[in-house]
């Protein structure tokens, strides 16, 4: 039986040969069942076919395009940061890494979302400092007139006052998560990272992740 009617018999058989044994292994590690993992890996496989008939992996450049398309996310600094966190800066993305990416953007687990969001914002791994906040805030208030510059400075000070509990100029994960647990709407306080609920539903339909589709949780 064909797994995907858009592929010919040879490609369907190759998918089963290359990725079939990975499905139960991956399903044990992620919050998706084997059917959902199969569908996610089928998408991965179709992208890998663009790299040649014998290719088994997708590239980080392809994942960049997937992040943009899936999430409608156009801040390229954030897009590249997400891709770097997923594949560790390598040029290829493994099947497990791709499923992990889908897991992150589809998760409802606030702890997991906070952890990933903080890593995206904390580019140097030393905490979120004034410089990182200033760069993010500049995107909120484009322009270079005095009023805009003043608004940027005010926003930077406001965010530091809000998150930097010990006032040392650096927001740690502990400080960030403490605020977000009480005010979840501040999860993405330095700009969007996760897809909207509407985009997440579209992803669920397109990838046949039924556990994320209302009234189809099977």
- Three-state DSSP class for residue 167: coil
| pLDDT of 215 over the 80 cut | no
pTM for the full predicted model: 0.90
Contact present, 193 and 82 (Cβ < 8 Å): yes
Question: Is 114-186 in CATH node 1.10.238?
Answer: yes
195 within 8 A of 70, measured Cβ to Cβ: yes
54-74 as b/e, with b when 16 or more CB fall inside 10 Å?
eeebbbbebbeebbeebbebe
Q: Given a cut of 60, is residue 218 above it in pLDDT?
A: no
> What is the average pLDDT value for the chain, to the nearest integer?
92
In the predicted model, what is the mean pLDDT of residues 43-53? 93
3-state DSSP call for residue 129?
Answer: strand
How far apart are the C-alpha atoms of 172 and 159, rounded to whole Å? 13
DSSP 186: G
3-state secondary structure of 137: helix
CATH 1.10.10 fits 9-113+194-212, yes or no: no
Residues 6+ apart with CB under 8 A from 213: 201, 204, 205
Structure tokens that stand for 182 in this block: 């009480």
- Euclidean distance between CA atoms 199 and 68, whole angstroms: 11
Question: Which of 1-10, 111-120, 173-182 is least confident?
Answer: 1-10
CA distance 109 to 57: 28
| Cα torsion angle, 22, 25, 29, 32, sign | positive
Q: Kindly list the distances between the CA atom of residue 159 and the CA atoms of 137, 138, 165, 169, 193, in Å, as whole numbers in the listed order.
A: 10, 13, 11, 11, 18
Domain ranges of the chain: 9-113+194-212, 114-186
For residue 108, the cross-strand partners are none
Rg (CA), the chain: 20
pLDDT of 208 reads 85
- Residue 126: what pLDDT? 94
The answer to whether 51 and 36 have CB atoms below 8 angstroms apart is: no
Quote the pLDDT of residue 216: 54
Is there a contact between 161 and 189 (Cβ–Cβ < 8 Å)? no
**Phi first, then psi: what are they for 196, rounded to 5°?**
-70, 165
Residue 141, pLDDT score: 82
Q: What percent of the chain shows pLDDT beyond 90?
A: 77
């Amino acid at each position: 039986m064909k797994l995907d009617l858009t592929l010919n018999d040879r490609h369907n058989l190759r998918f089963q040969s290359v990725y079939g044994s990975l499905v139960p292994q991956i399903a044990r590690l992620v919050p998706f069942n084997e059917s959902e993992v199969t569908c996610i890996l089928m998408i991965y496989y179709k992208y890998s076919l663009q790299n040649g008939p014998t290719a088994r992996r997708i590239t980080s450049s392809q994942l960049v395009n997937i992040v943009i398309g899936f999430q409608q996310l156009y801040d390229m600094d954030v897009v590249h940061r997400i891709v770097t966190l997923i594949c560790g800066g390598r040029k290829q993305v493994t099947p497990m890494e791709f499923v992990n990416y889908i897991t992150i953007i589809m998760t409802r687990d606030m702890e997991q979302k906070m952890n990933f969001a903080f890593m995206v914002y904390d580019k140097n791994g030393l905490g979120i400092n004034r410089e990182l906040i200033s760069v993010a805030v500049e995107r909120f208030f484009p322009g270079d007139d005095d009023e805009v510059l003043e608004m940027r400075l005010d926003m930077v000070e406001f965010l530091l006052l809000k998150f930097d509990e010990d006032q040392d100029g650096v927001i740690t994960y502990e400080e960030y998560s403490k605020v977000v647990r009480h005010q979840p709407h501040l999860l993405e306080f330095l700009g969007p990272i996760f897809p909207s609920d509407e985009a997440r539903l579209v992803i669920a339909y397109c990838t046949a992740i039924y556990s994320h589709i209302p009234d189809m949780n099977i």
